[in-house]
Amino acid sequence: MANTILVGAQWGDEGKGKIIDVMTEKADIVVRYAGGNNAGHTVFIGKKKYILHLVPSGILRKGKLCVIGNGVVVDPVSLVKEIQGLRKLGVKVGPNLVVSETAHVVLPYHRELDAQREVLKGKNKIGTTKRGIGPAYGDKAARVGLRMIDLIHPERMESKLRWRISENNEVLRALGAKPLSFKTVLAEYRVAGNYLKPFVANTVVLLHEAMQRGNDVLFEGAQGTFLDIDHGTYPFVTSSNTTAGGACTGSGVPPHRMDRVVGVMKAYTTRVGEGPLPTENAEISDLLHGMGREFGATTGRPRRCGWFDSVATRHATMVNGIDGLAVTNLDGLDSVETIKVCVAYRHGKARYDFVPNDAQTLAECQPVYVEFEGWRTPTDKARSWKQLPPKARAYLKAIAELSDAKLFIASVGPAREQTIFV
């Protein structure tokens, strides 16, 4: 396997966790490059279900090195819990996990500010995961953030934290929220810092040395293209570069070392949180929720669902340079009689073949649909392209073509074996 970037081609929750797990078999190293514990990657192995938030899914396979890159924001308390949880499930976590010393740290005032800002925004809220992601990246850009290297040096941590808590408490008081106790936060973060110290290293040098030795790297994207801070439906986005470019800045691996980009997309569309979703549809939402599908892995919130939006996925191909597509959740459409696919947007007299930058304009867009006859046959037992119903194959071919990329994988269920390489 060459160095591969794997990105979400929609609004997140495309089923990246499972595809990464399948592709990890051929990789030596798996790197997370953006986001924080707002992400939730679900992987099923046999009957066991693993939900990963910060740790790359590669941890579930023996002999793989997992890296949390500099572009990630790390909530150390949450990372400790995640490592402990994995160990309880029998997963080995030790030298196979390395955290960048320059990754920024999420602190309790970030979470508090995240929640307070959402309240202040009222009906214009973003619908964040309330994990403090936006304020943590905000501090990074404002150059007042604490990094993992600070966390593992107690004296540095103490002085920086004292300063940050005193300033943030002023803001919290002004917002009518409870100020934080420096002592309590310091004590909690000291414990986490001690626990995480053996995992912290210079991951840029580590990755370069590994690549020199010929190791193949899989860059694990979190969230999706339209949640990207630059290319998403701003302001209804997350606070990092979730698109392929983020893999370079978020890991320190230069663009010319990247060999291919795989885009993961569902056979339909979902979104959690607020913001425009042109193909949102009550009928398909009810159907999927009725099947017990499409509830958020991090917050448990029901996801908003809609028809496949090829304007969005085509845009994602353009922004990420997607070479191959992995289409997941095909089986979610097994019972649908007529399947719609959005091929363009209408806005008044204008027609859009790409996603307009302004969220307001996008919210006002009407989808232009083409219809496909459903296959109305279970696909979850299919293990090869030939075993898929002809109408499902036609649908997959059409959505890949409309998305301007080659079909690479079709996934018909959460298990590893429910993966069809095309």
Residue of closest CB approach to ligand IMP: 273
Q: What minimum distance in Å lies between the beta carbon of 360 and ligand IMP?
A: 16
Residue 39 sits in the site that holds ligand IMP (CB under 6 A): yes
Which residue number, 39 or 185, has a Cβ lying nearer to ligand IMP?
39
Positions 6 through 35 that interact with ligand IMP (CB under 6 A) = 12-13
Give the nearer residue to ligand IMP in terms of CB position, either 133 or 264. 133
38 touches ligand IMP (CB under 6 A):
yes
- Residue 125 or 208 having the CB closest to ligand IMP: 125
Query: What residues between 175 and 234 interact with ligand IMP by CB under 6 A?
Result: 222-223, 227
Query: Omega into 235 within 30° of 0, i.e. cis?
Result: yes
Segment (H or E) for 343: strand 338-347
Is there binding between residue 129 and ligand IMP (CB under 6 A)? Answer: yes
Give the helix ranges, DSSP H, for 93-196. 108-121, 133-141, 148-151, 154-174, 182-196
Count, residues near ligand IMP per rule CB under 6 A = 20
CA–CA gap between residue 304 and residue 294 (Å, rounded) = 8
* Whole-angstrom distance, CA of residue 242 vs CA of residue 231: 9
Confirm whether 216 is a catalytic residue.
no
Active site residue 41: yes
Burial of residue 81 (number of CB atoms within 10 Å: 0-12, 13-18, 19+): middle
Q: CB of 414: closest distance to ligand IMP in angstroms?
A: 16
List all residues 6 or more positions away from 187 whose beta carbon is below 8 Å from its beta carbon. Answer: none
Reported as type and span, the H/E element at residue 399 is helix 390-402
Say whether residue 116 binds ligand IMP (CB under 6 A): no
Q: How deeply is 202 buried, as exposed, middle or buried, from its count of CB atoms within 10 A (0-12, 13-18, 19+)?
A: middle
Q: Is 71 in the site for ligand IMP (CB under 6 A)?
A: no
**Residue 241 in the binding site for ligand IMP (CB under 6 A):** no
Give the tokens for residue 242.
């979730």
Paired residues of 406 in beta bridges: 324
134 is a contact residue toward ligand IMP (CB under 6 A): yes
**Considering only residues 133, 136, 217, 322, which one is a binding residue for ligand IMP as defined by CB under 6 A?**
133
Q: Which residues bind ligand IMP (CB under 6 A)?
A: 12-13, 38-40, 126-129, 131, 133-134, 222-223, 227, 236, 238-239, 272-273
**Which residues are marked as active site?**
13, 41
